[in-house]
Amino acid sequence: MRVRTKTFLFIIGGIAIIAASVGLVLFALRNNVSLYFTPTQVFNKEAPQGRNFRIGGLVEVGSLTREKDGLTSHFIITDMMKTMPVTYKGILPDLFKEGKGVVAQGKLQSDNVFYAEEVLAKHDENYMPPEAKDALDKAARAQSALNAASGIPPTDTTAKKIGY
Amino acid sequence: MTIHWFKYAAPTTFYGLAGKLIPFFAWPSAILFVAGIYFGFFVAPTDAVQSEAYRIMFIHVPVSILSMFIYLIMAGYAALGLIFKTRLSSMMASALAPTGAIFAFIALWSGALWGKPMWGAWWVWDARLTSELILLFLYLGFIALQASIDDPRRADRAGALLAIVGSVNVPIIYFSVKWWNTLHQGSTIKFSDTSMHVAMKQALFLMMAACWLYTIAITLVRVRSIILERERNTQWVSELEEVRS
């Protein structure tokens, strides 16, 4: 065998071995690499018990309430299957909105409320000017009104788009 | 007319060719940068969700994409040099590394500047962010490894192995937002379509083209220096006009 062919095979073999080992490492880490758990995963007890973790999903529409002190807020994180009530004392990020993505870090207490120490807003990969967004929202409202009139239950299109 | 395909694979002839090519990449790059910045900051509309802050994207997205692309090209050149012992390929790999490292650094830095106002954090140990940080370390490792070995041929071999092994990281960066739950949003520019307003897209593509041309121009400049440095004891270098004067 020529030296060049040998080197080539050696490199190809090396890459294959490394790719396989990286694949195995990633497979072993597949849950730990994710930044957050969904409420469904928490419900299925896949999230760590008794220590800090992150939970992510959408802020349920109409769930945000603030206490008198102006800092403590309560809201519900949903992945459209399960929900998780969250309490957070601190300033919420600017992009924090009902119906939008959120990632909260904290601890699940025995009262089944998630006490967050940090709340991060998650935005999607769609970019458009406000007029285009208004037009889309209007179309979505018209569609849901149409559905309501004909008896079809409303669907949350934003949740599907973001992929929760 | 017969084309001598391998004529320019020799550092001697490539040195002159590269010198002639540089202006054809450098000037269009400068013009596209100015156009891209103008379109990005004055023509592209405000975003409905993120208002003006999204404009960081016009820097962040091109340098992030290129930091990954450059790594693959660098690893490809390094592999060619390793397998076929072509000196110029190894020199091209060394010439690409600093640009890739700078782009990876700007990607992380601009990402932090974007993350703080939008997400609420400069940095999270998110799969996308962490794998991009590893990419920066791979570039720095490649540069440091090559610099630490005096014999250029051994330096090329060692660097090539690191570059090839590290290339498994690139698909991990790209697919991280698909494979795992991440704070980082998904890809706006996909193979099939883009989820973005057309004026924003135009500005982004201008910036992307500018970064590509910049990369080619600066790599040619750098590879010329590397050729001169490595061939400094040869006859042809001592006969060069710029060396004699």
- The tens digit of pLDDT for each residue in A9-37 reads 877 887 788 778 877 877 777 667 778 89
What DSSP string runs through B39-80? IIIIISPPBTTTBGGGGGHHHHHHHHHHHHHHHHHHHHHHHH
Rounded mean pLDDT, B178-202: 82
CB of A163 less than 8 A from some CB of B: yes
Residues of chain A neighbouring B45 (CB-CB closer than 8 A)? 129-130
Task: Indicate the CATH number of A39-122 among 2.40.128.20, 3.10.105.10, 3.40.50.2300, 2.40.50.140.
Answer: 2.40.50.140
Q: How many CB atoms lie within 10 A of CB A49?
A: 8
The boundaries of the domain holding residue B65 are 30-244
B6 has a pLDDT exceeding 90? no
Q: In this predicted structure, what is the pLDDT of residue A158?
A: 46
Does residue B67 belong to any structural domain of this protein?
yes
CB of A88 less than 8 A from some CB of B: no
CB of B47 less than 8 A from some CB of A: yes
Compute the mean pLDDT over every residue in chain B, rounded to the nearest whole number: 90
A155 has a pLDDT exceeding 60? no
Is B120 in contact with A119 (Cβ distance < 8 A)? yes
| Number of folded domains that form chain B | 1
Q: Cα separations (Å) of B113 from B19, B33, B52, B106?
A: 37, 21, 13, 10
Q: Cα separations (Å) of B67 from A146, B4, B101, B177?
A: 48, 32, 7, 17
B159 has a pLDDT exceeding 70? yes
- Hey, which bits of chain A come out as E strands? 53-59, 65-66, 72-78, 83-89, 101-108, 114-122
Of B46, B48, B183, the CB nearest to A120: B183
Residues of chain B neighbouring A128 (CB-CB closer than 8 A)? 47-48, 196-197
Tokens of A79: 């992945």
The span from the CA of A124 to the CA of B100, in Å, is 27
Give the confidence band of A159 by pLDDT, cuts at 50, 70, 90. very low
Is B164 in contact with A11 (Cβ distance < 8 A)? yes
The span from the CA of A134 to the CA of A144, in Å, is 15
Residues of chain B neighbouring A26 (CB-CB closer than 8 A)? 172, 179
In chain A, % of residues over pLDDT 70: 90
> Phi and psi for B46 in degrees, rounded to 5?
-65, 145
Q: In this predicted structure, what is the pLDDT of residue A163?
A: 42
CB of A93 less than 8 A from some CB of B: yes
Does residue B13 belong to any structural domain of this protein?
no
Residue in B closest to A7 by C-alpha: B83
Of B117, B121, B164, the CB nearest to A15: B164
The span from the CA of A59 to the CA of A75, in Å, is 7
ipTM of the complex: 0.72
B1 has a pLDDT exceeding 60? no
Domain boundaries, chain A: 1-33, 39-122
In chain B, % of residues over pLDDT 70: 96
Q: Best mutation site among A2, A35, A73 for testing chain B: the one with the most B CBs within 10 Å?
A: A35
B173 has a pLDDT exceeding 90? yes
CB of A142 less than 8 A from some CB of B: no
The span from the CA of B65 to the CA of B140, in Å, is 18
Of B119, B165, B195, the CB nearest to A126: B195
B71 has a pLDDT exceeding 50? yes
Lowest mean pLDDT among B2-16, B61-75, B117-131, B177-191: B2-16
- pTM for the model stands at 0.84
Convert the pLDDT of each residue in B72-115 to its tens digit.
Answer: 999 999 999 998 888 899 999 999 999 999 999 999 999 999 99
CATH for B191: 1.20.120
Q: How many residues does chain A have?
A: 164
Convert the pLDDT of each residue in A46-89 to its tens digit.
Answer: 888 778 889 999 999 988 989 888 889 999 999 888 999 999 99
